[in-house]
Amino acid sequence: MGPINELWEILTLVTVVVLGGLALLVALVRGRGGDSATLPRTGPRPEEDTDVLTEERPEPEVEVEDRGGGVAVEEPEAPTPTLERPDSARGRLQRLRARLARSNNAIGNALLALLSRGGLSEQDWEDVEDTLLASDLGVEATQELVDSLRTQVKVDGTSDAAQVKQWLHDDLLRLVDPTLDRRITASREGEHPAVILVVGVNGTGKTTTVGKLGRVLVAEDKDVLFGAADTFRAAAADQLQTWGERVGVPTVRSHTEGADPASVAYDAVKGGVEAEVDVVLVDTAGRLHTKRGLMDELGKIKRVVEKVAPVGEVLLVLDATTGQNGMRQAEEFAKEVAITGIVLTKMDGTAKGGIVVNVQRKLGVPVKLIGLGEGPDDLAPFDPEAFVSAIVG
């Protein structure tokens, strides 16, 4: 072979190597990212690869709307909060009767034990009188009840426990007076909503009572609006708003501590007129009955509100455990505003049942509602028959 032939063979060999390398490079590239070729596997497939399917999760569908200025994404609506459905006011007192009986039945048991002895002496009758006075019945009502019982025992000449119990039941029911109108004014009159002003001293559970009364009215299918006119206690408006949010009742309030409460009350009632609600419940600041300036302000709130709509109810909230002190409070409030009804709270504790008779006699207005516990639906319309039956047993 000559030098030319040797050179040709070398060139041919180089060409084959280069073309082979290029072919291998193309195959590698197409195997990694191409769309039609892969490198073959060598050897058996690993067991964990066998029959494994990965399902692609579809992207969530989003509705779009072309409004002429591009595509607007329709955001999903926020879920509507679930509102509580309060228990109906009807039958609440019956459901809570056992709780009331635990509070007051001791008085009835003591009276029955005394009256059933037979041959009652003057000392026995004094003990009956003392027991009734201890129940906050009041001096006048106590004397009436004792005189009636003495007459019946003397005329009948019996000490039969069942008969004495019936006499005691009937006489107490007469004193509680089932003939009084205990309905809450909670219906629109023409263009005006019913306006309920709630008043009382600090610590009686006034704001809580407003919230619970709102639940009672909602259960009766009333449209209600709260007015948070207690602007001196920062937590009062927040507390009332929370009560409202649970049952769908809006709250008119001021976010400025110490704002004019009459102005807030006015705005609430005006808002109630515009929204055509059935009832506007106005919570006022707790005030000591001995503070003349605060009591005068209460009268101002009522006068300002009545520029928009008449006030149909002024409910005085009393702590039933305060006894005679609660009576003095009630009398002072009645001098400032025309009280139309009483709400007695904490009747499930150490309350003395006789305060119902006493406060009605002093003010000439009925007890309309009683609070029997801490639960949201533990405010009930006052039922004289159920109340007396719980005391006497």
Band of pLDDT at residue 348, cut at 50, 70 and 90: confident
Q: How many domains does the chain have?
A: 2
160 plus 211 within the same structural domain: no
Out of 149, 176, 203, a domain closes at 176
Does the annotation place 205 within a ligand binding site? yes
The reply to whether 286 sits in an annotated binding site is yes
349 is in an annotated binding site: no
Q: Is 346 annotated as a binding residue?
A: yes
CATH number of residue 324's parent domain: 3.40.50.300
Query: Is 124 domain-assigned?
Result: yes
The answer to whether 199 touches 284, Cβ cutoff 8 Å, is yes
Q: How far apart are the C-alpha atoms of 143 and 126, rounded to whole Å?
A: 11
**Residue that is last in its domain, among 321, 339, 357:** 339
Six-digit token string for 237: 């408006």
Q: Which two tokens stand for residue 79?
A: 């879920």
Range of the domain at 200: 194-339
Residues 319, 213, single domain; the answer is: yes
Whether 221 and 256 map to the same domain: the answer is yes
**252 and 312 co-located in one domain:** yes
Nearest to 360 by CA among 385, 379, 339: 339
Which CATH number do you get for residue 171? 1.20.120
The mean pLDDT of 29-47, rounded to a whole number, is: 39
Instruction: Give domain status of residue 117, yes or no.
Output: yes
- 206 is an annotated ligand-binding site residue: yes
Q: Per-residue pLDDT averaged across 79-101, rounded? A: 69
pLDDT of residue 346: 85
Q: 245 and 323 share a domain?
A: yes
CB within 8 A of 58, min separation 6: which ones?
none
Is 201 annotated in a binding site? The answer is: yes
Do 324 and 226 lie in one domain? The reply is: yes
Kindly report, residue by residue over 189-247, the tens digit of the pLDDT: 888 999 999 998 877 889 999 999 999 999 999 999 999 998 888 788 999 999 999 99
Domain boundary among 304, 320, 339: 339
Considering the domain boundaries, does residue 58 fall inside one? no
In a domain, 297, yes or no: yes
Q: Percentage of the chain surpassing pLDDT 90?
A: 36
Q: Is the pLDDT of residue 52 over 50?
A: no
Question: Could you give the CA distance from residue 46 to residue 51 in angstroms, rounded to a whole number?
Answer: 11
Task: Identify whether 284 is part of a domain.
Answer: yes
| Pairing assessment for the beta strands 341-345 and 311-319 based on DSSP bridges | parallel
Give the pLDDT score at 43. Answer: 37
Q: What is the mean pLDDT of residues 109-122?
A: 80
pLDDT greater at residue 4 or residue 387: 387
299 appears as a binding residue in the annotation = no
Q: Looking at the structure, do residues 269 and 329 belong to the same domain, yes or no?
A: yes
203 is in an annotated binding site: yes
Judge if 170 and 217 occupy the same domain.
Answer: no
What is the pLDDT at residue 49? 36
- For residue 54, the model assigns a pLDDT of 31
* 333 and 233 in a common domain: yes
Q: Tell whether 222 and 308 lie within a shared domain.
A: yes
105 is in an annotated binding site: no
> Is 283 among the domain residues?
yes
The pLDDT of residue 14 is 57
CA distance 122 to 142: 16
Q: Where are the beta strands (DSSP E) in the chain?
A: 64-66, 71-73, 194-200, 224-229, 251-252, 279-284, 311-319, 341-345, 367-371, 379-381
> Which residue, 263, 203, 258, 207, is CA-closest to 234?
258
**What pLDDT digit, counting tens, does each position of 234-254 carry?**
788 999 999 999 999 999 999
With respect to residue 212, please indicate whether it lies within any of the assigned structural domains: yes
142 carries a ligand binding annotation: no
Cα-Cα-Cα-Cα dihedral sign, residues 14, 19, 20, 25: positive
Residues 203 and 278 in one domain: yes
Binning pLDDT at 50, 70 and 90, where does residue 340 land? Answer: very high
> Is residue 75 assigned to a domain?
no
200: annotated binding-site residue?
Answer: yes
Same domain, yes or no: 137 and 252: no
